[in-house]
Amino acid sequence: MSQQLINTGGSPNDGTGDALRVAFTKANENFTELYTRIRDTVPGSNIGSADDVAGTIAYDGDYIYICFADYDGSSVIWGRVATAWV
């Protein structure tokens, strides 16, 4: 899904923007997409597993993991960056 922009109208209260229900539906769908892409279970290997898709981010206490391709069963799709909290 691509980002859904909320139409805020041309000026305050001019009636040309999205209705509240439409606006909040778009906001909820945008957040749902973001939250499904962030997880606290790290990949078991850099090849990943069947539910891994590009854009997913995982983390633990030592690394941030970034999935840069969709799972295909044989290609490396995960990279990781060490976190150094000071």
The predicted model scores a pTM of 0.69
Instruction: State residue 26's pLDDT score.
Output: 97
Residue 68 backbone zone (phi > 0: left; psi -120 to 50: alpha; other: beta): alpha
Q: Between β-strands 78-82 and 63-67, what pairing exists: parallel, antiparallel or unpaired?
A: antiparallel
Instruction: State residue 44's pLDDT score.
Output: 94
- The full set of domain ranges for the chain reads 1-36, 39-86
Instruction: State residue 86's pLDDT score.
Output: 59
The list of the chain residues with pLDDT below 50 reads none
Instruction: State residue 25's pLDDT score.
Output: 97
Cα–Cα distance measured from residue 60 to residue 81, given in angstroms and rounded to the nearest whole number: 11
Cα–Cα distance measured from residue 64 to residue 59, given in angstroms and rounded to the nearest whole number: 5
